[in-house]
Amino acid sequence: MSHLGKVTMPVLLVLASLLLATCQPAITSTSAPEAVMRVAAEIRSLAEVTAAGPPQIVDVTARDAVLVFESTIPLACSVVYGKTTAYGQIAVDQDMGGGAHTDHHPLLAGLKPDTEYHYRVQGTAADGTLYVGDDATFRTPPAETGGEINLATLEAGARVVAVSSNFGGAANDKPWGANNALDGNRATAWSSAGDGDAAFIEIELARPSQLNAVEIWTRSMSDGTAQIFAFTLTTDAGELLGPFTLPDAAQPYRFEVDVTARTLRLDVTDSSGGNTGLVEFAAYGRE
């Protein structure tokens, strides 16, 4: 017996420890349903926090579209979109400061002409609640053929000849630099470094051109700053156009003109202050 006891004691100790381990409460299995219920309770319908109707797709082009949505509480908003309900692309609010706010206008970029897209809006509140909208669809128009030409693009040979400042001291061709107002990409923007009403940008077209319209899209931030309310345009001949007013920062606004110009200088005359700037600066006409 003594020999057997010496041999089996370590084995008995191992068996005892294994038995104790199997008798411990199954914490993960019993708490899992509660965790699932807690997560489910944090996912709610977006309709609960819509201030003025459901999100709307506006200003749709063959390449991109803008979603506008006002929430009753601050949300960090995003939109998933794609050709099917598998989506595959995501857009977030274009805001230098980031964070949650109530006025949302993310840009859905990288679209194809004449194509139906599915999209779903979702937003996260500060308490972690996720508000999710229903699937919806929109269709892009066919690719443009002929018509007006935007002469104020880098691709068309336009360039920035003067700017009040770029955020962070960036070069014109860097993020927030002035070239972003002429790149034809509404997912980028020029931001001044706190110039407010003193902000300006001057562009030179490839050659003197007859212009029939300009289209201006002001940037803005979630705290209400950076939005341009009014501006003027001055040509290289010294002709003053405007002032023109911009109702909001949700989309570009078009203003009819009748002028021949090689350069156009945009001066901010009224704004909400801060890092004023432009999403896009377009000038339509013929060379």
Please tell me the distance from the alpha carbon of residue 216 to that of residue 219, in angstroms, as a whole number.
10
The pLDDT assigned to 116 comes to 97
Tokens at 33, concatenated? 């349903």
The pLDDT assigned to 34 comes to 54
DSSP state at residue 249: S
CB 116 within 8 Å of CB 83: yes
The pLDDT assigned to 59 comes to 83
DSSP state at residue 169: G
pLDDT cut 70: percent of the chain above it: 83
C-alpha dihedral, 94 to 95 to 101 to 107, nearest 10°:
-10
Question: Quick one: average pLDDT of 251-267?
Answer: 96
- Could you tell me the pLDDT band of residue 229, with boundaries at 50, 70 and 90? very high
Lowest average pLDDT, out of 18-22, 83-87, 194-198, 205-209, goes to: 18-22
- Provide the whole-model pTM: 0.68
The pLDDT assigned to 18 comes to 38
- Could you tell me the pLDDT band of residue 15, with boundaries at 50, 70 and 90? very low
Angle among Cα 88, 91, 97 to the nearest 5 degrees reads 150
Output the average pLDDT for the chain. 86
Q: Is 240 exposed, middle or buried (0-12, 13-18, 19+ CB in 10 A)?
A: exposed
Task: Please say if the pLDDT value at position 192 is more than 50.
Answer: yes
What are the start-end ranges of the E strands in the chain?
A: 43-45, 56-58, 65-82, 89-92, 101-104, 107-108, 116-124, 130-132, 136-139, 149-150, 159-163, 190-191, 200-218, 228-235, 240-245, 253-271, 277-286
Give whichever of 50-64, 100-114, 179-193 has the largest mean pLDDT: 179-193
Task: Please say if the pLDDT value at position 32 is more than 60.
Answer: no
User: Which is higher by pLDDT, 36 or 147?
Assistant: 147
Question: Quick one: average pLDDT of 146-166?
Answer: 92
- Could you tell me the pLDDT band of residue 222, with boundaries at 50, 70 and 90? confident
Lowest average pLDDT, out of 12-26, 82-96, 202-216, goes to: 12-26
Q: Which residues contact 241 (CB under 8 A, 6 or more apart)?
A: 232, 233, 234, 235, 257, 259
Rg (Cα) of the chain, in Å, rounded? 28
Please tell me the distance from the alpha carbon of residue 245 to that of residue 51, in angstroms, as a whole number.
26
Task: Please say if the pLDDT value at position 10 is more than 70.
Answer: no
Question: Quick one: average pLDDT of 210-217?
Answer: 96
Task: Please say if the pLDDT value at position 29 is more than 70.
Answer: no
